[in-house]
Structure 1
Amino acid sequence: MRLDFFDLNLFLNIMDSGSFTKGAERSHISLQAASERIKKLEQYFQVSLFTRHAGGVKLTFAGQVFAEHAQAILQQGQHLLRAMSPFSEGLNSNICLWCNSSAQSEYLPLLLPKYLVNNPNIQIDLKEAETNDIVTALDNGTAKLGLISSFFPAPQLQTLEFSDDPLVLICPLQHDLSRIQSLKLADCLNYPFVGLMHYHSLQQSIETQAKLLHCDIQYRLRLPNFAAIAQVVANGVGIAIMPKRAAQRLAQLYAFQQIELRGDWANRKLLLAAKNFDELSTAYQHFSQFLLSNDAQKALH
């Protein structure tokens, strides 16, 4: 037997009116059809749902339990209809993802096309910002979802690991450091650097580490992005620190040497962050699940 919403509504109409005749009228079917449908319900569950008397019908105890579940099922059906209506009407859901420059340039371009193709009613707005600013925006409610660097603590937020995002040092091919496989930050601070602009969170983290070593970094040039830095490093201007993934991509365009950086601060991770993941809308939760899914992680490796 197929249990459908119509039978549940019919049952409730009979219950509310106290009469098969009135319940059938409310459901816009004949009395005979209503009686047959209720009889099939009773036969399927092997119970009596109503007791008949001269004034109409009353619920049995089994009927009272059935009524509670019928009301809950119909309410869930209404929730389902409301949830599906935006898709059937072609309406869009907008998601704003705040992310640092590493996530925006090196990770998301690999993932977002597949998600958008499979979810044509979703629109994604990427907002690039420094990790400190993203943490603040998530904390005060300006942002709902963000990708942040693990270097900056955010105990007030919920975070889930998205991907490794280690840093490397790059130098010209003929540089003194070019034959070294790995080094610590202290091993290279006496060489001139090419860096990002002062406001960049990656630059702030590098300079914080240098200050812990009681050193000041000597900058020959500051540039706005990793591509510009890679180009001038390849031309022999200085050395630089950037995400490993960006260095691997840019090594196809510019000739420079990559050197592993040792230390916890350099082996950072990208974290997916929210104030409370359980309180996000369905669209944001679905997108978050995609970013953390096995398929997405395979695409990044």
Structure 2
Amino acid sequence: MRLDFFDLQLFLNIVDTGSLTKGAERSFISLQAASERIKKLEQQYSTQLFTRHASGVKLTLAGQTFAEQSLLLIQQGKKLEQAMSAFAEGQTTQMTLWCNSSAQSEYLPLLLPQYLVENPHIQIDLQEAESSDIIQNIEKGVAKLGLISSFFNHHQLQTLEFSDDPLVLICPPNHQLKETKQLQLADILSYPFVGLMQYHSLQQSIENQAKLLNCAIQYRLRLPNFAAIAQVVASGVGVAVMPKRAAQRLNQLYHFHQIELVGEWAKRELLLAAQNFDQLPTAYQHFAQFLISQKAKLILD
């Protein structure tokens, strides 16, 4: 069965004018051609759509149903044309992805180039924030899609597993903790720290955990990224907490020890979160499906 939108519009023109002749004129075809097209429609659906009278035509019950569905299809067809014309004209679709520090620096740079190359009319704005703030923004409708840590309460949202994202402690090669296999946060708060700048969401999260222990972190230096921190820690300045993925990457450049951190706050998992994935705009749904499809690339050694 093939639908011809011209036939649907012809049918609606006849319905609107109440006349086969006037409907044909509005459709810019001859009366004979219009009559033949309507006849083929009736044959296709094995039912009569009109009753003919001297004063014009009237819809049958089947015709009324056909008119209602034809109108919906015409409307959907126009929406389809509008949606596709944006791609033909090279219009840009902009999306905002909210993410924590780890996702922004260690995961998304690995995945986003492929997506942006495959979708040249997409622009992605990354908004870094602490996971708790991202969750609140999604709940309020300020944000549509976010990558959050599983440590925070996200039960009002729909989530999909994205990647494991544990935290580790890194320390200088000759540090007294270098032989330690596992540590809790309380075990390291007495040591001088090298940390991220105050505005980084990961550092805010670590400081919040320290406050729960009634402790304050002693910073010898704050730096803007993990690479700078790794270099300074390797030089013997202090210890630092960072995502395991970042530590593995940077350990190839700088010599330091990695120590596993114990506790739910450190055994993080990154989740892709939204209020309702099925109700996201099409562009966001497509992007979310891509991110989840790349999970195999993100498995930690």
TM-score by length of 1: 0.88
Cα contact 1:168–1:260 (8 A) shared by 2: yes
Conserved? CA contact 1:195–1:240, under 8 Å: yes
**Residues in 2 aligned to 1:210 and 1:127: alpha-carbon distance in whole angstroms:** 25
Residue 11 of structure 2 aligns to a residue whose secondary structure is helix
Distance 1:62 1:235, change over 3 A: same
**How far off is 1:28 after superposition?**
0.8
Aligned-pair distance for 1:33?
A: 1.1
In angstroms, what is the RMSD of aligned CA positions?
2.4
Task: For 1:85 and 1:179, locate their aligned partners in 2 and report how far apart those are by CA, in whole Å.
Answer: 62
Tell me, yes or no, if structure 1 residue 64 matches structure 2 residue 64.
yes
- Percent sequence identity is 72
Contact 2:101 2:202 in 1 (8 A): no
Q: Conserved in 2, the CA contact under 8 Å of 1:185 and 1:261?
A: yes
Distance 1:263 1:149, change over 3 A: same
**SS of 1:287 mapped into structure 2:** helix
- In structure 2, the partner of 1:299 is 297
Cα distance change of structure 1 residues 54 and 126 upon mapping to structure 2, 3 Å threshold: same
> In structure 2, do the counterparts of structure 1 residues 265 and 4 end up closer, same or farther at CA, with 3 Å as the change threshold?
same
TM (normalized to structure 2)? 0.88
Distance 1:201 1:129 in 2: 5
Note if contact 1:138-1:275 (Cα within 8 Å) is conserved in structure 2: yes
Alpha-carbon separation, structure 1, partners of 2:51 and 2:204: 77
Residues 222-231 or 276-285, more deviating? 276-285
Shift of 1:154: 5.2
1:241 counterpart SS class: strand
The aligned counterpart of 1:108 is: 108
| Partner residue in 1 for 2:242 | 242
How far 1:164 sits from its partner (Å)?
1.9
Equivalent residues of 2:128, 2:201 under 8 A apart = no
Change (3 A) 1:64 1:189: same
Report the secondary structure of 2:238's partner residue: coil
Deviates more, 1:217-226 or 1:73-82: 217-226
Mapped to 1, the partners of 2:114 and 2:23 lie a distance apart of: 51
User: Does the 8 Å CA contact 1:151/1:205 hold for their aligned counterparts?
Assistant: no
Partner Cα separation in structure 2 for residue 62 and residue 181 of structure 1: 76
Partner of 2:84: 84
**Equivalent residue, structure 2, for 1:31:** 31
Q: In structure 2, what residue type is equivalent to 1:121?
A: H
Structure 2: gaps of 5 or more residues: none
TM-superposed deviation, 1:140: 5.6
Say if 1:136 and 1:63 are closer, same or farther in 2 by CA, change over 3 A. Answer: closer
**Number of corresponding residues:** 299
User: Match for residue 21 of structure 2?
Assistant: 21
Offset of 1:266 from its aligned partner? 0.3
CA contact (8 A) 1:168 1:244 kept: yes
For 1:52, what is the secondary structure of its paired residue? strand
The structural deviation recorded for 1:53 is 1.8
Match of 2:282 in 1: 282
Verify the 8 A CA contact 1:132 1:201 in the aligned structure 2. no
CA apart distance, 1:45: 1.0
Residues 75 and 100 (structure 1), Cα distance of their counterparts in 2 relative to 1, 3 Å cut = same
Q: Would the aligned equivalents of 2:144 and 2:280 in 1 still touch at CA under 8 Å?
A: yes
Query: What stretches of structure 1 of length at least 5 have no aligned partner?
Result: none
Structure-1 residue corresponding to 2:254: 254
Match of 2:224 in 1: 224
Retained in 2: the 8 A contact 1:210–1:216?
yes
